[in-house]
Structure 1
């Protein structure tokens, strides 16, 4: 005997439809976020490649680290940044590698080589 009502997987009626709508919405949101992140990364990569490589005299005015993750069982990742001040007093903060971060000291003066937002090298004058 059939009562003619579709109870769905949840008591009370069409709970299955609600679950499907919520699940689909969350899935579309996650996929959309990944697509946006990929597009932004490709645009930054393309912009950096189209930028000229510049070498300018500057002074290191600041250094900082940014640690993300690391709660519970997840591992942490650290990003390293240095801020450079040019002769015209303008400043540029660039992400640098861990090894370069260790060699750069606040107050150092030298030549920064960069392309767009991509750090290439910082060299001090030979004495």
Structure 2
């Protein structure tokens, strides 16, 4: 009986610890997303000359969703990578020059110069 009581207590404690870790991780992710969104909303919308220097995709969820990213280089030499809709990603080519509009870490648009 004594061994069974110890195992029962251990299992209960283990379940509570796992629950707290999972719940805590979800809470941290939610708070982080809210903070990032608030910071982006407070940032000015900027439009700067830029060049597309690279493009990449990331597939998540066993090929169920694809995320699209493009890296832009501005006149100062700084590079910024933004997530963007697939429709706009498909229209960009590396070395394209144009005007990049963004707000914080949020991509708004890219208008190619002709």
Structure 1-normalised TM-score? 0.84
Structure 2, gaps ≥5 residues long: none
- The alpha-carbon deviation at position 13 of structure 1 amounts to 2.5
- Listed as ranges, the matches of 1:1-127 within 5 Å are 7=1, 12-14=3-5, 15-70=7-62, 76-125=64-113, 127=114
| Structure with larger Rg | 1
CA RMSD of aligned residues (A): 1.3
Structure 1, gaps ≥5 residues long: 1-6
Structure 2-normalised TM-score? 0.93
C-alpha distance in structure 2 between counterparts of 1:17 and 1:89, whole Å: 59
Q: Report which structure shows greater RCO (CA 8 Å, sep ≥6).
A: 2
> How many residues are aligned here?
113
Q: Which runs of 4+ in 1 moved over 4 A?
A: none
C-alpha distance in structure 2 between counterparts of 1:81 and 1:111, whole Å: 17
C-alpha distance in structure 1 between counterparts of 2:19 and 2:68, whole Å: 33
Three-state SS of the structure 1 residue aligned to 2:18 is helix
